[in-house]
Amino acid sequence: MRGTTGLAKGATRVAMFIAGLCWLTGSVLLTLFLVQFLADGAGLQNWPTGILPMFSLGVGLLHFIGFSFGAAFCFCLGVGLCAYGLTNGVPPSTGGEAPHNSA
């Protein structure tokens, strides 16, 4: 963000914060979908009862893992973007004053 004006920096921060909220919303929606998926039997109802029941369980487990990782990824991205939008971009000070050259 070098060389941008104050208004452009503010707009960028607002856009990053809104993008973070969108990613957090996606995380919540994936989690709600995952809960509904588990409540419906995690895909076990898709296969007839005598044909490959372990395959059905494995497919349900892979879907569960995939949705979980997707929700976690969306959550991490959303938190990162919201944090970037809320900070002012100035690195924290090291605690001490920089020495002055009096030459």
- Please tell me the total count of domains within the chain: 1
Neighbours of 39 (CB within 10 A): 8
More confident of the two residues 77 and 97: 77
Query: For residue 35, what are its two tokens?
Result: 């809960």
- Per-residue pLDDT, 99: 60
Residue 94 tokens read as 């090291």
Domain that holds residue 35: 24-86
Average pLDDT, the chain: 79
Q: Taken in order 57, 63, 67, 72, is the CA torsion positive or negative?
A: positive
- Does 91 reside within a domain? no
Q: Is residue 59 part of a domain?
A: yes
- Give domain status of residue 96, yes or no: no
Q: How far apart are the first and last CA of the chain?
A: 33
7, part of any domain: no
Q: What is the pLDDT of residues 8-54, one digit of tens each?
A: 777 888 888 999 999 999 999 999 999 988 888 776 665 566 666 66
Residue 36 located in a structural domain: yes
Say if 9 falls within a structural domain.
no
Q: Is residue 13 part of a domain?
A: no
CA–CA distance, 75 with 19 (Å, rounded to integer): 12
Would 103 be classed as within a structural domain? no
DSSP 42: T
Phi-psi region of 42 (alpha: psi -120 to 50; beta: other; left: phi over 0): left
For residue 59, give the nearest of 45, 73, 71, 69 by alpha carbon: 45
Q: In the predicted model, what is the mean pLDDT of residues 72-99?
A: 78
